[in-house]
Amino acid sequence: GKTKMDLANSGAANAIELLGPMDQVAVFAVDSEATKTIPLTRVDSKKGELMNRTRKIRSSGGGIFVYNGLKAAWEELRKSPAGTRHVILFSDAQDSEEPGDYKNLIKEMTDNGASISVIGLGTDSDVDAALLKEIAKLGNGRAFFSDRPVDIPRIFAQETVTIARSAFVQEPVGAQPTGRWAEISPKPLDWFKQVDGYNLSYAREDATVSLVSTDEYLAPLVAHARRGLGRSAAISFPLGGEYSETARNWPGYGDFLQTMGRFLMGEDTPPGIALRHRLDGTRLTLDLLYDPALWSQKLSALPPKVRLKDDTGGMTMDLPWRRISPGHFSLTRDLEEGSIVRGAVQVGENALPFGPLSVGSSVEWAFEPERLAELRTVSTQTNGRELLDLSKAWLRPPFIAETSLRLPLGIALVLLVIVEALMTRTDWKLPEFAMAPRQKRPKVAKAPKPKPVRKEPESFVPAAQPENEKPVTPPAETERSSRFQRAKDRK
């Protein structure tokens, strides 16, 4: 794991990273004595070097003598004329020793405009947490505690940003013009004599300052600068809300805001001129459209010019136009992948800026409307669909099979017409299909069924009749029985 010194180094390096080039910083490593590892230094372009030196600080061991650290920090800070002077004290909430006469020392610091914040490794219930809380309270700062090492660098950065944003002078300060407002407008301004408050800042080296404060900082109140082919401006006093009453009551307030807005917007496009640009992948296309009745003679005498500049710091490129038709100039240029370009077109005495344009890093960023139309056509013809929600890209679309019967029905109709014409003109008839006659099977005579033997009813012989005498059957009954028998035989 990381040691306490490693955590302090990471936190201090994070704080330095958030500082501006005009800020100043000093770093001390404190145990029983305070060791000056980085003297009070203006950041400028040395931010990386200062961060590396901070990360290499090593501790010689021992407890943290709080009074010695605060005293060394104040002796270094009192050399700075900066309006905001702040100390961030990182200490162990269980090992903060030798507070000494810290109360009188902190009073001297706060009386001279300094403040103190404390970051404690541990919890607010540790042995020395009460001391650290009191130091932050007396120093008009804040106290933070964390027993998670990963939080320490983040707290350093958070407190640095908070202090940097609080550099606001809340007292009325005189204002002095520098005479440089003429670079923005030829009309002079009758400036106000003071501002109710302002945000303490420093002018860039390439900035032009039009108004400064009259206090010991001579801080810029109104400044402007070129940014590539564009323009930028900064106003450090409030234009509305608290601390803005003097500015809002200033008679030139409206004129100042309108002039500044027009300066930032650039010159108005002259009538009869239009500039259109398009970026397809890495290819830039510029079209200059103009009214021939108004501009033909002017552009014949002074052809339009195009200048292009990228962010790599290379030379400014002058590009040639191609005349497409009356009233239309055009040009195309292949740019370097991943670059950011800006440009301007000079038409007569007017300059038309364009950009910045971010050039795609590969051809996949190219967008051609014609290709998009082709893809939609293919999707429609193949019964596909256009996906605008990627979460539905892997869902199987419903499949509906459709079969057209036009071709089979058309072929059948043509064949029927041909057959009908053949039958009509040639008297041709469809062949008839005769069925083969059905052969009769020979009739097989059935074997006669055995006739059932009729059992004659028993006759009763009178007792008086002699034995050798036979009964006599009536003729009519015998004939009827014979006919009945023959009918049964025929069946």
- CA distances in angstroms from 368 to 38, 138, 279, 280, 365, listed in the order given: 56, 65, 10, 7, 10
Tell whether 181 and 53 lie within a shared domain: no
Instruction: Determine which of 67-81, 93-107, 189-203, 309-323 has the lowest per-residue pLDDT on average.
Output: 309-323
Helix (H) / strand (E) containing 488: helix 475-490
Spatial distance between the Cα atoms of 72 and 60, rounded to a whole number of angstroms: 17
pTM of the model: 0.42
Q: How confident is the model at residue 234 (pLDDT cuts 50, 70, 90)?
A: very high
**Number of Cβ atoms within 10 Å of the Cβ of 289:** 15
Rounded to 5 degrees, what angle do the CA atoms 204, 205, 208 make?
75
Q: How confident is the model at residue 479 (pLDDT cuts 50, 70, 90)?
A: low
Tell whether 28 and 160 lie within a shared domain: yes
Tell whether 317 and 175 lie within a shared domain: no
**pLDDT (tens digit per residue) in 248-266:** 999 999 999 988 888 887 6
Taking residues 344-369, what's their average pLDDT? 71
Taking residues 162-175, what's their average pLDDT? 79
Residue at which a domain ends, from 232, 265, 298: 265
In a domain, 88, yes or no: yes
- Nearest residue to 5 (alpha-carbon basis) of 149, 155, 145, 157: 149
Look at residue 298 in the predicted model and tell me its pLDDT: 86
In a domain, 460, yes or no: no
**pLDDT (tens digit per residue) in 272-323:** 888 888 888 788 899 999 999 888 888 888 888 888 887 666 677 888 888 8
Tell whether 11 and 101 lie within a shared domain: yes
In a domain, 438, yes or no: no
- Which range of residues forms the domain containing residue 139? 4-166
For residue 334, what are the β-bridge partners? Answer: 283
Residue at which a domain ends, from 166, 182, 217: 166
204 vs 41, more confident: 41
DSSP state string for 262-314: HHHH-SPPPTTEEEEEEEETTEEEEEEEE-HHHHHHHHHHS--EEEEEETT--
CATH label of the domain that carries residue 356: 2.60.40.10
Spatial distance between the Cα atoms of 139 and 110, rounded to a whole number of angstroms: 6
- Nearest residue to 245 (alpha-carbon basis) of 305, 324, 317, 192: 192
Please confirm whether the linkage preceding 292 is cis (ω < 30° from 0): no
Tell whether 39 and 128 lie within a shared domain: yes
Look at residue 456 in the predicted model and tell me its pLDDT: 53
Tell whether 126 and 12 lie within a shared domain: yes
- Write the DSSP symbol of residue 96: E
In a domain, 21, yes or no: yes
Look at residue 55 in the predicted model and tell me its pLDDT: 86
Taking residues 264-269, what's their average pLDDT? 70
- Total domains in the chain come to 3
CATH label of the domain that carries residue 92: 3.40.50.410
Mark residue 336 as left, alpha or beta (left: phi above 0; alpha: psi -120 to 50; beta: remaining): beta
In a domain, 376, yes or no: no
Spatial distance between the Cα atoms of 109 and 121, rounded to a whole number of angstroms: 24
* 323: its two tokens: 């005349």
Do the strands 85-92 and 114-121 form a parallel or antiparallel pair, or are they unpaired? Answer: parallel
Q: How confident is the model at residue 228 (pLDDT cuts 50, 70, 90)?
A: low
**pLDDT (tens digit per residue) in 40-52:** 998 888 888 998 9
Burial per residue of 355-390, b for 16 or more beta-carbon CB atoms within 10 angstroms, e otherwise: bbbebbeeeeeeeeeeeeeeeeeeeeeeeeeeeeee
In a domain, 425, yes or no: no
In a domain, 287, yes or no: yes
Look at residue 448 in the predicted model and tell me its pLDDT: 62
Look at residue 431 in the predicted model and tell me its pLDDT: 67
Tell whether 300 and 224 lie within a shared domain: no
- Write the DSSP symbol of residue 426: S
Burial per residue of 183-207, b for 16 or more beta-carbon CB atoms within 10 angstroms, e otherwise: ebeeeebebbebbbbbbbbbbeeeb
Highest mean pLDDT pick, 56-70, 157-171, 314-328, 425-439 = 314-328
Taking residues 1-27, what's their average pLDDT? 80
Treating both helix axes as pointing N-terminal to C-terminal, what angle do 47-55 and 4-17 enclose, rounded to 10 degrees? 170
Q: Count H helices and E strands in the chain, helices first.
A: 12, 22
CATH label of the domain that carries residue 181: 3.40.50.880
Instruction: Determine which of 54-63, 394-403, 423-432 has the lowest per-residue pLDDT on average.
Output: 394-403
For residue 317, what are the β-bridge partners? Answer: 308
* 16: its two tokens: 């330095």
Spatial distance between the Cα atoms of 51 and 13, rounded to a whole number of angstroms: 5
Spatial distance between the Cα atoms of 339 and 360, rounded to a whole number of angstroms: 8
Evaluate if residue 222 carries a pLDDT over 90.
yes
Alpha carbon distance, N-terminus to C-terminus of the chain: 123
In a domain, 429, yes or no: no
Mean pLDDT across the chain, nearest whole number?
A: 80
Tell whether 197 and 342 lie within a shared domain: no
Residue at which a domain ends, from 102, 136, 166: 166
Tell whether 22 and 161 lie within a shared domain: yes
Residue recorded with tokens 């201090």? 12
Look at residue 146 in the predicted model and tell me its pLDDT: 87
Tell whether 57 and 30 lie within a shared domain: yes
Tell whether 105 and 161 lie within a shared domain: yes
- Write the DSSP symbol of residue 232: E
Tell whether 256 and 289 lie within a shared domain: no
Look at residue 460 in the predicted model and tell me its pLDDT: 47
